[in-house]
């Protein structure tokens, strides 16, 4: 039995899923922990570690596929990873990112693709980037019974418009735009909103003035929850080191050390050792032609004879 609620007891207790109303009810309460995940094995570990929410972020375009931005990711790819993550998430709520150009065109397009994420990707909610300009799209999705997480501040799908991955909401006008964006998402029915790379006082004001939980990434400590990309959190993605991406482990170092140790043992022929090797067959016995006929032809029942 695994799962934070299941350890310690003798009889395994079923693990209950974290629900949208529960996440919403944590506004101002116990902070929500969200982590990205892209595959079954990682999802299972993060779930067992106690993460409340797993996000199949379109960051997979960068950390899994090796692109420079999140822009090439498709709905089908998000769904593929969603199905894998879903199998590993017994307790955590699983949210899927709507990729670039899968929701911007119209509220109807947004609804259709949100529906695909729920049906084909096994997601329990979807996340969209943007503020007032996508509020109508969020409303349409929520009206169909699909829970939505908003995302304002640094919205990576607008990387070219922003001139790079840069802190947003600096200065009064920019701060106001982020604040109004978060309010528009709340008004449209989002049940939580991610605040990415904004000054902590702007995040604090949003968190204080909206009724849905804020989940920060580079938005300071006053948010109702935090989110990190799993490979950043684990020290496995050296390409980009944002200030906010605290490494809680150096798994990348461990993987490289393990790889070096493996290669060394392969070279020295100390791996595989006897405990990694199957039982030997023993000295080979050359079969004599008469040995091959275990039953003389005359004794073979007619219905066994195929020729």
Residues in the interface with ligand KIV (CB under 6 A) total 11
Other Cβ atoms closer than 10 A to 134 = 26
| Residues 105-164, interacting with ligand KIV (CB under 6 A) | none
Minimum gap (Å) between residue 205 Cβ and ligand KIV: 20
102 and 111 Cβ atoms separated by less than 8 Å:
no
Minimum gap (Å) between residue 259 Cβ and ligand KIV: 26
Residue (15 or 190) nearer to ligand KIV, CB: 190
Catalytic residue (choose from 196, 205, 250, 275): 196
Name the segment binding ligand KIV (CB under 6 A); options: 51-59, 197-205, 253-261, 284-292: 51-59
Contacting ligand KIV (CB under 6 A), which of 57, 96, 130, 153? 57
Minimum gap (Å) between residue 197 Cβ and ligand KIV: 10
Residue (161 or 295) nearer to ligand KIV, CB: 161
Minimum gap (Å) between residue 59 Cβ and ligand KIV: 3
Between the CA atoms of 44, 80, 115 and 31, what dihedral angle is there, to the nearest 10 degrees? 30
- Determine the Cα–Cα distance for residues 153 and 179; give it in Å rounded to an integer: 9
Smallest Cα–Cα separation from 203: which of 217, 222, 181? 222
Q: Is 97 in the site for ligand KIV (CB under 6 A)?
A: yes
Q: Is 196 among the residues known to form the active site? A: yes
Q: Is 47 in the site for ligand KIV (CB under 6 A)?
A: no
Name the segment binding ligand KIV (CB under 6 A); options: 5-13, 52-60, 118-126, 239-247: 52-60
Q: Is 186 in the site for ligand KIV (CB under 6 A)?
A: no
- Determine the Cα–Cα distance for residues 230 and 55; give it in Å rounded to an integer: 10
Q: Left, alpha or beta for 48 (phi > 0: left; psi -120 to 50: alpha)?
A: alpha
Minimum gap (Å) between residue 63 Cβ and ligand KIV: 8
> In the bound complex, which residue of the shown chain has the CB atom lying closest to ligand KIV?
57
| Residues 22-41, interacting with ligand KIV (CB under 6 A) | 36
Q: Is 197 in the site for ligand KIV (CB under 6 A)?
A: no
Residues making contact with ligand KIV (CB under 6 A)? 36, 55, 57-59, 97, 194, 196, 217, 227, 229
Active site residues: 196
């Amino acid at each position: 039995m695994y799962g934070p609620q299941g350890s310690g007891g003798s009889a395994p207790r079923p693990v209950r899923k974290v629900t949208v109303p529960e996440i919403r009810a944590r506004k101002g309460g116990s902070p929500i922990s969200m982590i990205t995940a892209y595959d079954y094995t990682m999802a299972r570990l993060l779930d067992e570690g106690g993460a409340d929410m797993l996000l199949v972020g379109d960051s997979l375009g960068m950390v899994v596929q090796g692109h420079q931005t999140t822009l090439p990711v498709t709905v089908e790819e998000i769904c593929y990873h969603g199905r894998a993550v879903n199998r590993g998430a017994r307790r955590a709520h699983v949210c899927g990112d709507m990729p670039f150009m899968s929701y911007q065109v119209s509220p109807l397009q947004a609804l259709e693709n949100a529906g695909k994420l729920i049906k084909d990707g096994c997601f329990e909610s979807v996340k969209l980037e943007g503020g007032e300009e996508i509020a109508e799209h969020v409303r349409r999705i929520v009206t169909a019974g699909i829970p939505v997480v908003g995302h304002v501040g640094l919205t990576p799908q607008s990387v070219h418009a922003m001139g790079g991955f840069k802190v947003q909401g600096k200065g009064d006008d920019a701060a106001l735009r982020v604040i109004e964006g978060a309010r528009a998402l709340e008004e449209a029915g989002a049940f939580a909103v991610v605040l990415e790379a904004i000054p902590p006082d702007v995040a604090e004001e949003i968190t204080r003035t909206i009724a849905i939980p804020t989940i920060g990434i580079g938005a300071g400590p006053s948010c109702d929850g935090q989110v990190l990309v799993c490979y950043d959190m684990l020290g496995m993605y050296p390409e980009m080191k944002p200030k906010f991406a605290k490494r809680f482990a150096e798994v990348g170092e461990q993987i490289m050390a393990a790889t070096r140790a493996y290669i060394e043992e392969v070279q020295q022929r100390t791996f595989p050792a006897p405990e990694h090797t199957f039982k030997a067959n023993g000295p080979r016995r050359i079969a004599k032609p008469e040995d091959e006929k275990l039953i003389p032809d005359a004794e073979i029942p007619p219905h066994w004879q195929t020729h």
